[in-house]
């Protein structure tokens, strides 16, 4: 019988602190995938001198966990991941060092020491903003009204395991349509669709909602600009989401 192999060298240093980190994906970096970001992050952690904890085994890797990343092509102000470290660190110092080490467009916004509980369990829903250049508010309002009047809105998306068909309506908790007033000099209309969408399996993404809208005749010439504004626990009966890091901040404060 072959002897059981044991990795050489000392065991990995123990974890003494876990950090939860919120970052933004902006500009051209919205086209980066989770894999692209993980490579950039590991380089940034080394450059920033963060005392990372590593897994055991023959191929140790940094102890990083990612939570519910936005689809490639969507900008986001609310992406999250967690890291484990082998020395106690100042979260604000880590935020500044990581932000400096990452490329522009991957911007570290907040770092907190993790308190009890699971971060993933707090990411219940997302707030999405879709900007439709050249489209009037009335067109978007009419499309949304027609969509929500249907008994169901089935879309099919292909996953690693094959195609799946699902109803996009139940996860949509609230919808608001408004006019972009950010540039008074802009002559063409720009409708803004803001919606709170509960996280489900499979996840209902903004492009799934757009597919359902297209099926009932709403098909703008240009695709909208999509941004995730927030994700966290549902508030106000589905009209918004709360800060998922609030419990960690309260834990530190107490």
pLDDT band for 252, please (50, 70, 90 cuts). Answer: confident
Q: How far apart are CA 213 and CA 235, in angstroms?
A: 26
- State the pLDDT at residue 37: 92
User: What is the arithmetic mean of pLDDT over 37-57?
Assistant: 93
- State the pLDDT at residue 251: 80
Q: Which helix (H) or strand (E) holds 6?
A: none
- State the pLDDT at residue 5: 64
pLDDT, tens digit (0-9, with 9 covering 90-100), for 152-175: 999 999 988 999 999 999 999 999
Whole-prediction pTM value? 0.92
- State the pLDDT at residue 211: 96
144: Cα separation from own chain's centroid: 24
Q: Bridge-partner residues for 177, per DSSP?
A: 193
Out of 7-16, 26-35, 153-162, pick the least confident.
7-16
Query: Environment class of residue 136 by beta-carbon count within 10 Å: exposed (0-12), middle (13-18) or buried (19+)?
Result: middle
Q: What are the strands, taking DSSP E only, across the chain?
A: 17-25, 64-67, 75-85, 106-113, 125-133, 154-159, 162-167, 172-179, 190-198, 225-232, 234-235, 240-241
Pairing of strands 225-232, 75-85: parallel
- Mean of all residue pLDDT scores within the chain: 92
Q: Bridge-partner residues for 76, per DSSP?
A: 25, 228
pLDDT, tens digit (0-9, with 9 covering 90-100), for 169-197: 999 999 999 998 765 656 688 999 999 99
Q: What domains are defined for the chain?
A: 17-114 (3.30.70.580), 122-241 (3.30.70)
| Residue 200 pLDDT > 90 | yes
pLDDT, tens digit (0-9, with 9 covering 90-100), for 54-106: 988 777 889 999 989 999 999 999 999 999 999 999 999 999 999 999 999 99
């Amino acid at each position: 019988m072959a002897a059981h192999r044991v990795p050489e060298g000392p065991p990995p240093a123990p974890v003494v602190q876990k950090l939860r980190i919120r970052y933004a994906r902006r500009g051209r970096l919205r086209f980066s995938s989770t894999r692209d970001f993980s490579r950039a992050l590991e380089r940034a952690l080394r450059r920033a001198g963060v005392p990372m904890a590593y897994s055991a085994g023959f191929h140790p890797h940094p102890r990083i966990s990612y939570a519910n990343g936005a689809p490639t092509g969507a900008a986001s102000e609310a992406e999250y991941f967690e890291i484990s470290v082998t020395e106690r660190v100042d979260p604000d110092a880590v935020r500044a060092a990581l932000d400096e080490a990452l490329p522009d467009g991957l911007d570290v916004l907040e770092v907190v020491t993790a308190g009890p509980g699971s971060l993933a369990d707090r990411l219940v829903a997302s707030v999405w903003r879709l900007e439709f250049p050249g489209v009037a508010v009335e067109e978007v309002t009419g499309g949304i009204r027609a969509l929500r009047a249907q008994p169901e809105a089935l879309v099919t998306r292909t996953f690693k395991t094959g195609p799946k068909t699902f109803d996009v309506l139940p996860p949509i908790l609230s919808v608001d349509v408004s006019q972009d007033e950010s540039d008074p000099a802009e002559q063409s209309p720009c409708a803004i669709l803001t919606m709170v969408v509960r996280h489900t399996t499979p996840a209902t993404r903004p492009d799934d909602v757009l597919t359902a809208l297209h099926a009932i005749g709403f098909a703008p010439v240009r695709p909208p600009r999509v941004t995730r504004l927030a994700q966290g626990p549902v508030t106000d009966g589905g009209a918004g989401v709360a800060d998922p890091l609030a419990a960690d901040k309260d834990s530190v404060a107490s």
